[in-house]
Structure 1
Amino acid sequence: MALLGTLVNGGCIVVGSLIGLFFAKIPEHFKETVMHGIGLAVILIGMQMALSTEAIIVVLLSLLSGAVIGEMLHLEEGLNRLGEWIGNKFASAKNDISVSQGFVTASLVFVIGAMSVVGALDGGLRGNHEVLITKGIIDGFVALVLTTTLGFGVLFSVIPVVLYQGTIALLATQIDHWIPEQVLNGLIVELTSIGGLIIVAIGLNLLNITSIRVGNLLPSILTVGLIYPIYLLVI
């Protein structure tokens, strides 16, 4: 079953978020310190991923083209509006932290990364769900902590996670008919690097060092799929 790993991952996020709701009364200074810790860990994860690149020009062009597309489509604003819409549907559960912040931050943390792509591909290509199950356990603990600091909006991040990873897993069942294995492996490396840089941006935002519109960088995850094959033809 190609979607088994994705469903387990989503279930872990739901369970972690629900448990986190019971710890929402933690004092603010505890929450702030915990969030700083998460931010630092997220930056470390992102840097490790970002340094995996073997073609920095691909990463640069993908980020630039993705940023232009994201700004034109106002993706960040759209994500925030979606989070606010969810918040309005559950207005009685709102707290000091906006629902949209929890939804957007958690979605980006859980969706962007090597484990999402590699795990979904592994599940679709080989029926091996070990990577996504491992990611699910990690995401569950992260969801627990994020929910205590960012509120119940974190719970709804399960929707884009399941849609994103599920789509990749389903497409992966046929991807070997479209893309040679060597090209696919190289593309995953550059995709991992781009995802890492976006994760670094998330960590910097969590630490309140920057206010990068991370949502507007997301198209770079798609544009690399066009740029990398062109790069292989040129070199």
Structure 2
Amino acid sequence: MVGLGTIINVAAIILGGLLGKLCSRFLSGRYQDTLSKTCGVCVLFIAIGGAMEGILSISGNAIVSGKSLLIICCLALGALLGELCNLEDKFEQFGEWLKNKTGNAKEKNFVEGFVTASLTVSIGAMAIVGSIEDGIFGDYSILATKAILDFIIILVMTCSMGKGCAFSAIPVACFQGLLTVLARLVKPLMTDAALSNLSLIGSILIFCVGLNLIFGKKIRVANLLPSILLAIIIAFLPLGV
């Protein structure tokens, strides 16, 4: 069944949110704060692992790093485009609308939880490749694996940041669902170089999410999202970055 992977993923996020909210009732503010920072550390290391795969390579008997110019170009230009479109504020405005429409107006951290969780589970090569595989071949194995990871992430985040995290199922459903429908059009764009660039830049953005979890909101991560699109475009240009 085409689209089953996204359905499984969304269900896992909702279930993780429900269980996280249930567990949070038994945790005081001190425990929730520690759990939030611990989650941030986990997100950092997941991001570092993904970024290192893209940056490091083996040349002879040595490990060398590269793609510095790619990172600088994508993040700098992506930040300018994101600030121009003010994506972060639009994301937060949607979160505020969602908070009021779902009867969670008194939920203090709803918007922060929604934005942070959405960026964490929506960015990455697994979401894109998994949706394409699901749309063309009906193979939902990648998205099923992602669902397990997202379940754990959302469960922990909901414990510390509130029920807004569970509503990250909405952007995941929209993004992955749209990619699944458009899979035949998107697949030719997902060359090995494009996937490598996407994974690298996506991991760096997830790293920024981890920093915000630990130190408070320091980086407007949603305004960096155009960097991912630029990373894919650059893969088709003879720039050697």
Q: What TM-score, normalized to structure 1? A: 0.89
SS of structure 1 residue aligned to 2:2: coil
- Aligned-residue RMSD, C-alpha: 1.9
Q: Structure 1 175/89 Cα, relative in aligned 2: closer, same or farther at 3 Å?
A: closer
Moved more, 212-221 or 135-144: 135-144
Question: Partners in 2 of 1:7 and 1:60 — Cα distance?
Answer: 36
Match of 2:32 in 1: 31
* Residue 224 (structure 1) aligned with residue 225 (structure 2): no
Point out 4+ residue stretches in structure 1 off by more than 3 angstroms.
90-93
| Contact 1:106–1:143, Cα closer than 8 Å, also in 2 | yes
Match of 2:161 in 1: 150
Match of 2:7 in 1: 7
| Contact 1:13–1:139, Cα closer than 8 Å, also in 2 | yes
Question: Partners in 2 of 1:38 and 1:18 — Cα distance?
Answer: 18
Q: Structure 1 234/138 Cα, relative in aligned 2: closer, same or farther at 3 Å?
A: closer
Instruction: Please report how far the alpha carbon of residue 172 of structure 1 lies from its aligned counterpart in structure 2 after TM superposition.
Output: 2.1
| Contact 1:49–1:114, Cα closer than 8 Å, also in 2 | no
Match of 2:150 in 1: 139
* Residue 190 (structure 1) aligned with residue 197 (structure 2): yes
Q: Residues 39-188 of structure 1 correspond to what in structure 2 (within 5 A)?
A: 39-53=40-54, 55-92=67-104, 94-95=106-107, 97-176=108-187, 178-179=188-189, 184-188=191-195
Instruction: Please report how far the alpha carbon of residue 209 of structure 1 lies from its aligned counterpart in structure 2 after TM superposition.
Output: 5.9
| Contact 2:136–2:183, Cα closer than 8 Å, also in 1 | yes
Question: Partners in 2 of 1:3 and 1:144 — Cα distance?
Answer: 23
Instruction: Please report how far the alpha carbon of residue 122 of structure 1 lies from its aligned counterpart in structure 2 after TM superposition.
Output: 2.4
What amino acid sits opposite 2:197 in the alignment? E
SS of structure 2 residue aligned to 1:23: helix
| Deviation sequence 1:22-66 (CA, Å, 0-9, x none) | 123211111111111110110001111112326332232121221
What amino acid sits opposite 1:56 in the alignment? S
Moved more, 102-111 or 142-151: 142-151
Question: Partners in 2 of 1:12 and 1:210 — Cα distance?
Answer: 27
SS of structure 2 residue aligned to 1:51: helix
Q: Unaligned 5+ residue runs, structure 2?
A: 56-66
Instruction: Please report how far the alpha carbon of residue 91 of structure 1 lies from its aligned counterpart in structure 2 after TM superposition.
Output: 4.5
SS of structure 1 residue aligned to 2:148: helix
